[in-house]
């Protein structure tokens, strides 16, 4: 049973990491496009009116991708809770850097707060 849970968690983790990477790549590529359009317009000595709608669309896309990234991060947080719920809290998936707040030592015991 543990083997099945771990395999399922690994499969989901791989898909999550792929989705996170794809969103980050889309943000980077869209930012490059948004930066290239005004520079290309200036290099071609064209009016600022040329391509304004395209630039605004790229900026809107960046905003949507920002929301998508926020949502995938929230999904990641929820899956971390699910990982703990199925008894795999001590298992690390992928080669991702340590998450913020993960440096604390966990003993599984409650402690008295001052």
- The model's pTM is 0.76
Cβ atoms of 34 and 62 closer than 8 Å = yes
Burial 34-53 (b: 16+ CB within 10 A, else e): beebeeebeeeeeeeeebee
Q: What local confidence, expressed as pLDDT, does residue 2 receive?
A: 81
Q: What local confidence, expressed as pLDDT, does residue 103 receive?
A: 47
Q: What local confidence, expressed as pLDDT, does residue 72 receive?
A: 97
Q: What local confidence, expressed as pLDDT, does residue 27 receive?
A: 98
Q: Torsion over CA of 88, 15, 21 and 69, rounded to 10 degrees?
A: -80
Low-confidence ranges of the chain (pLDDT < 70): 90, 93-114
Compute the chain's Rg from CA coordinates: 21
């Amino acid at each position: 049973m543990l083997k099945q849970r771990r395999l399922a968690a690994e499969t989901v983790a791989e898909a999550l990491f792929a989705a996170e990477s794809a969103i980050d790549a889309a943000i980077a590529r869209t930012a490059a496009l948004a930066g290239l359009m005004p520079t290309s317009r200036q290099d071609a000595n064209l009016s600022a009116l040329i391509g304004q709608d395209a630039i605004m669309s790229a900026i809107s896309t960046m905003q949507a991708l920002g929301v998508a990234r926020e949502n995938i991060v929230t999904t990641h947080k929820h899956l971390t809770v699910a990982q703990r719920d199925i008894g795999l809290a001590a298992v690390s998936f992928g080669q991702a850097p340590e998450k913020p707040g993960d440096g604390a030592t966990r003993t599984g015991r409650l402690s008295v707060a001052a």
